[in-house]
Structure 1
Amino acid sequence: MENSFSILHDLEVDDTLENVFRMVSVPEFLNEW
Protein backbone atom coordinates (compact mmCIF):
# COMPACT_ATOMS: atom_id res chain seq x y z
CA MET A 1 0.00 0.00 0.00
CA GLU A 2 2.76 2.40 0.91
CA ASN A 3 4.66 1.58 -2.27
CA SER A 4 1.58 2.12 -4.42
CA PHE A 5 0.86 5.43 -2.74
CA SER A 6 4.48 6.52 -3.17
CA ILE A 7 4.46 5.58 -6.85
CA LEU A 8 1.18 7.39 -7.44
CA HIS A 9 2.47 10.41 -5.57
CA ASP A 10 5.68 10.47 -7.62
CA LEU A 11 3.72 10.15 -10.86
CA GLU A 12 1.36 12.91 -9.79
CA VAL A 13 4.26 15.22 -8.98
CA ASP A 14 6.07 14.36 -12.21
CA ASP A 15 2.97 14.85 -14.37
CA THR A 16 1.46 17.85 -12.62
CA LEU A 17 2.32 20.27 -15.41
CA GLU A 18 1.28 17.78 -18.07
CA ASN A 19 -2.06 17.17 -16.36
CA VAL A 20 -2.70 20.89 -16.03
CA PHE A 21 -1.82 21.37 -19.68
CA ARG A 22 -4.24 18.61 -20.66
CA MET A 23 -7.04 20.05 -18.54
CA VAL A 24 -6.49 23.42 -20.18
CA SER A 25 -6.00 22.16 -23.73
CA VAL A 26 -8.93 19.72 -23.82
CA PRO A 27 -11.65 22.45 -23.64
CA GLU A 28 -9.76 24.43 -26.29
CA PHE A 29 -9.60 21.35 -28.49
CA LEU A 30 -13.35 20.80 -28.10
CA ASN A 31 -14.03 24.46 -28.84
CA GLU A 32 -12.19 24.16 -32.14
CA TRP A 33 -14.70 21.49 -33.15
Structure 2
Amino acid sequence: RCTLVVMAIIMLLLSVLGLSMYLSESIPRHKYFL
Protein backbone atom coordinates (compact mmCIF):
# COMPACT_ATOMS: atom_id res chain seq x y z
CA ARG A 1 0.00 0.00 0.00
CA CYS A 2 2.78 2.42 0.91
CA THR A 3 4.50 1.85 -2.43
CA LEU A 4 1.26 2.55 -4.32
CA VAL A 5 0.72 5.78 -2.37
CA VAL A 6 4.30 6.90 -3.04
CA MET A 7 3.95 6.12 -6.76
CA ALA A 8 0.66 8.05 -6.93
CA ILE A 9 2.24 11.06 -5.20
CA ILE A 10 5.24 10.95 -7.57
CA MET A 11 2.97 10.80 -10.62
CA LEU A 12 0.95 13.76 -9.31
CA LEU A 13 4.13 15.76 -8.69
CA LEU A 14 5.44 14.95 -12.19
CA SER A 15 2.11 15.97 -13.76
CA VAL A 16 2.10 19.27 -11.85
CA LEU A 17 5.71 19.98 -12.85
CA GLY A 18 4.91 19.14 -16.47
CA LEU A 19 1.89 21.43 -16.49
CA SER A 20 3.85 24.27 -14.87
CA MET A 21 6.67 23.91 -17.41
CA TYR A 22 4.18 23.75 -20.30
CA LEU A 23 2.40 26.88 -19.06
CA SER A 24 5.71 28.70 -18.52
CA GLU A 25 6.75 27.83 -22.09
CA SER A 26 3.38 28.80 -23.58
CA ILE A 27 3.23 32.09 -21.64
CA PRO A 28 6.41 34.23 -21.85
CA ARG A 29 5.36 36.45 -18.91
CA HIS A 30 6.01 34.84 -15.52
CA LYS A 31 4.03 37.47 -13.58
CA TYR A 32 1.10 35.08 -13.18
CA PHE A 33 3.26 32.37 -11.61
CA LEU A 34 4.94 34.56 -9.02
Higher RCO, Cα 8 Å, sep 6+: 2
Greater share of residues in helix: 1
Q: TM-score, normalised by structure 1?
A: 0.49
